[in-house]
Amino acid sequence: MTLITGGGTGGHLSIAKALCEAYNARGIRPFYIGSTNGQDKTWFEGYPGFKNTVFLPSKGVVNQRGLGKVLALWIIFKQLFTCRALLKRHNILQVVSVGGYAAAPATLAALTLGIPVYIHEQNAITGKLNSLLRPFAKAFFSSYEAHSPLKNYPVATRFFEAYRARDTLKTLLFLGGSQGARFINQLARAIAPILHNQGIRIIHQCGKSELEAMMDFYAKHGIDADVFAFSNVLHDKLHEADVAIARAGAGSVWELCAAGIPTLFIPFPYAAGNHQYHNAKTFTNQNLGGLLRQEEATPQAVLAWLENAHIKRINLALPACLSKGGADEIVAWLEREKPSR
Domain ranges of the chain: 2-154+325-337, 158-321
CB 264 within 8 A of CB 305: yes
Across the range 74-101, mean pLDDT stands at: 91
Across the range 154-169, mean pLDDT stands at: 95
Distance (Å) of CA 95 to CA 33, 73, 124, 252: 10, 21, 22, 25
pLDDT band at 235 (very low <50, low <70, confident <90, very high): very high
Fold of 2-154+325-337: Rossmann fold (3.40.50)
Calculate the average pLDDT of the chain.
91
CB 207 within 8 A of CB 180: yes
Query: Is 274 annotated as belonging to a binding site?
Result: no
Most trustworthy range by pLDDT among 68-77, 94-103, 235-244? 235-244
158-321 to CATH, choices 3.40.140.10, 3.40.50.300, 3.40.50.2000, 3.30.230.10? 3.40.50.2000
Query: Is 10 annotated as belonging to a binding site?
Result: yes
Query: Is 2 annotated as belonging to a binding site?
Result: no
Query: Is 168 annotated as belonging to a binding site?
Result: no
Query: Residue 231's CB: how many other CB atoms inside 10 A?
Result: 13
Query: Is 308 annotated as belonging to a binding site?
Result: no
Of residues 101 and 95, which shows the higher confidence score? 95
pLDDT band at 87 (very low <50, low <70, confident <90, very high): very high
Q: Where are the alpha helices (DSSP H) in the chain?
A: 10-25, 40-44, 67-89, 104-113, 128-133, 157-160, 182-197, 211-220, 234-240, 250-259, 275-284, 299-308, 311-317, 326-337
Query: Is 9 annotated as belonging to a binding site?
Result: yes
CA 179 and chain centroid, separation: 11
pLDDT band at 132 (very low <50, low <70, confident <90, very high): confident
